[in-house]
Chains A and B, each alone.
Chain A
Amino acid sequence: MKKRKFSVSMSAIYLILILWAVTTIYPIIWVIQNSFKAKDKILENSFALPLGDLFTFANYRRAFENLNIFGAYKNSIFISSMVCAIVILLAGLASFALVRYHFKLRDTLYMMVVAGMMFPAFATVIPVLSMETSWGIAGTKSWWLSMLSIILPQVAGNLSFAIIVLSGYIRSLPIELEESAFLEGCGPVQIFFKVIVPLTKPSFATVAIFSFLWSYNDLFSQMFFLRRPETRAITRLLNELTSNEGTDYGLMAATVSLVIVPVMIVYVFLQKYIIKGMTAGAVKG
């Protein structure tokens, strides 16, 4: 083969790739550095590093005083963890049954799962809200019920994706392990928890990450279901901020940083799984 020379074209390629990388990283660095500056300094010279006189914690102090950030984090993490846990359990059970059992309705049910991916949240949210209101879950004063009112539809919204990914994986598992477990006296429930679940761990991780992030970032449902201040999750809080504190740019920069930085830290450690989780649905189905 012809020797590839490290030439002008190669440098051009690196240059363009680095340029795009800068557009993805710099805005985030920019907002973090400005979160440590007074509001008017952001408007004057936002490119300077917050050193010396420029540096201040005032934005963060205001953020923690005026906004219930910890409360919002607590709500977000609670909602998303519950969604994630329920999705994993229900989708895991359903996928196992859909793959291993042969029964009449199997293909119909699988079609139902695939079609379930097509429903946008826009098309279901109004009836779900009125249904939950009539059950006394949505629109109440109780924190627990409000949480429940958003967890339920979010679980339903993630099940299709989860079942498609998990059943694809379970189908590829050799059945011999299940057979030997059966010979040792395991019933199907035990086989599921003792054989299938441990073997399917990587796919469960994929599904877990996807449904957690999806629920965490989903502003639309939060606008409908979390209407009381103490129930607000983090994206809802951010949205509130734009309408109420629209001109306090320092506060905005600080809050955005407080939301982005934890995600960034988690991303650095789990990026392999996160990227896989977010693209799995695309590649498989």
Chain B
Amino acid sequence: MGANIYKNKKPLLLFLLPAFIFMTVFLYYPFFKNILDSFMQIKELGVSGKEWNEPWYSNYVKLATDRNVWTALKNTLIMTIVTIVGQVGIALVLALMVDNIKRGAKVFRTVYFFPIVVSATALGLLFNLIFLYDTGMLNQFLALFGKEELTDWKNEKWALFTMMLPVMWQYVGFYFVIIVTGLNNISEELYEAAAIDGATRLKRVWYLTLPLLHNVLCTCVVLAVTGALKVFDLPWTMFPKGIPLKSTFLTGTYMYYEAMIVKDVDYGSALAVLIVVLGVILSRVVNAIFKEKDY
């Protein structure tokens, strides 16, 4: 019967065409065009390439010898580790704690999630004020404890820390919610059985909760890695143009810098290709390490 309604396939086109035209024209075609662009000469944004580069792979030679690329790659890898350890790690600890309390779990959930809703650009401005040298919230706070000299949070020594801390902080609540949802799916009876067998609370977490959360944590790690590669707004607002001394570039911000500020558009395309390749490699690695299991 169900098949009868949908036997006539004519309306299919009406349903499918709009969405798939959009995806073809604005996702698939540009994606492959971008790869082609990275071998071409593009004089300015908004113009498409007419001639091949000389030699055609010159952007990729430049890529391999560009010091900023290596800085960006290094920073992006650090960012990936920070998001995995910081975001998922802190979220896991907080979630395990919330699982133990009886009152207020909902309130914490609401509060922790809030930063994700706020635009990262606004948070970038906010953190600029917090980390202000003379004198933002943090330096004023440290002064309360008798620290006299001011810390320049944006100098070379601290820049990466200052850039990554807000990014990490913003998304903890996201993974927190996912992990709490996973924890709620674990049946209470398992815990009771373990408690009767004499397992302490820590042992229950280690031998019961964590293995049962394995797949949820895998999802989180994959999301954290892909998320780390997409970070743009917050770093660009706090550290535009890779200041200080081009030391804070991430692959995304460097691509933007080359395409929009330096206006080497085809090199920007090559950097975008690099981002895609990096994304594929990293998600392969993550999938290999944190393989999802079937129970």
Contacts and interface: CB of A to CB of B under 8 A. Distances in A.
A and B co-occur in one complex: yes
Interface of A: 1-2, 10, 13-14, 16-17, 20-21, 23-25, 27-28, 30-31, 34, 42-47, 90-91, 93-94, 96-98, 100-103, 109, 112-113, 116, 118-134, 138-139, 152-153, 155-157, 159-160, 163, 175, 178-179, 182, 187-189, 191-192, 213, 216-217, 219-220, 223-224, 234-235, 238-239, 241-243, 249, 252-253, 255-256, 259-260, 263-264, 267, 271, 274-275, 278-279, 282-283
Nearest to B15: A97
Contacts, number: 300
Nearest to B216: A283
Contacts of B94: 16-17, 20
B146 interface: no
Interface stretch (B53-61, B123-131, B156-164): B123-131
Interface string B89-126: 01000100110110010011111111111111110111
A252 B195 CA distance: 54
A44 B124 CA distance: 21
Interface of B: 1-6, 8-9, 11-12, 14-16, 18-20, 22-23, 25-31, 33-34, 37, 42, 45-48, 90, 94, 97-98, 100-101, 104, 107-122, 124-130, 132, 134-137, 140-141, 169, 172-174, 177-178, 181, 192, 195, 219-220, 223, 229-230, 232-233, 236-237, 240, 251-252, 255-256, 259-260, 265, 268-269, 271-273, 275-276, 279
Contacts of B125: 238, 241-242, 252, 255-256
Contacts of B233: 217, 219-220, 235
B111 A120 contact: no
Nearest to A138: B46
A235 B122 contact: yes
A274 B116 CA distance: 10
14 contacts: A14-B101, A24-B112, A31-B126, A93-B15, A93-B16, A101-B6, A119-B27, A123-B272, A187-B11, A219-B237, A220-B252, A256-B125, A260-B126, A279-B174
B147 to A, nearest CB: 15
A206 B149 CA distance: 49
B48 A130 contact: yes
Contacts of A21: 107-108, 111-112
B169 A23 contact: yes
Nearest to B102: A4
Given A129-B46, A259-B119, A27 B18 contact: no
B2 to A, nearest CB: 4
B215 to A, nearest CB: 11
A188 B100 contact: no
Contact of B129 (A2, A103, A113, A252): A252
Contacts of B5: 100, 178-179, 182, 188, 191
Nearest to A16: B97
B229 to A, nearest CB: 7
Contacts of A130: 42, 45-48
Nearest to A187: B11
Contact of A189 (B11, B47, B236): B11
Contacts of A20: 90, 94, 112, 172
Contacts of B178: 279, 282-283
Nearest to B135: A43
A119 B195 contact: no
Contacts of A28: 114, 118, 126
Nearest to A189: B11
A126 B101 CA distance: 50
B126 A256 contact: yes
Contacts of B240: 242-243
Given A134-B48, A260-B118, A126 B268 contact: yes
B174 A90 contact: no
Contacts of B22: 90, 152, 155-156, 159
B248 to A, nearest CB: 15
Contacts of B90: 20
Contacts of A252: 125, 128-129
B121 A239 contact: yes
Given A112-B23, A133-B46, A275 B177 contact: yes
A132 B129 CA distance: 38
B4 A182 contact: yes
Given A127-B34, A217-B233, A279 B181 contact: yes
A179 B276 CA distance: 45
A220 B101 CA distance: 40
Contacts of B3: 102
A1 B237 contact: no
A95 to B, nearest CB: 9
- Enumerate the 8 nearest inter-chain pairs by beta-carbon distance, A residue then B residue, closest first: A156-B26, A133-B46, A97-B15, A94-B19, A127-B30, A124-B30, A127-B33, A217-B119
A194 B228 CA distance: 42
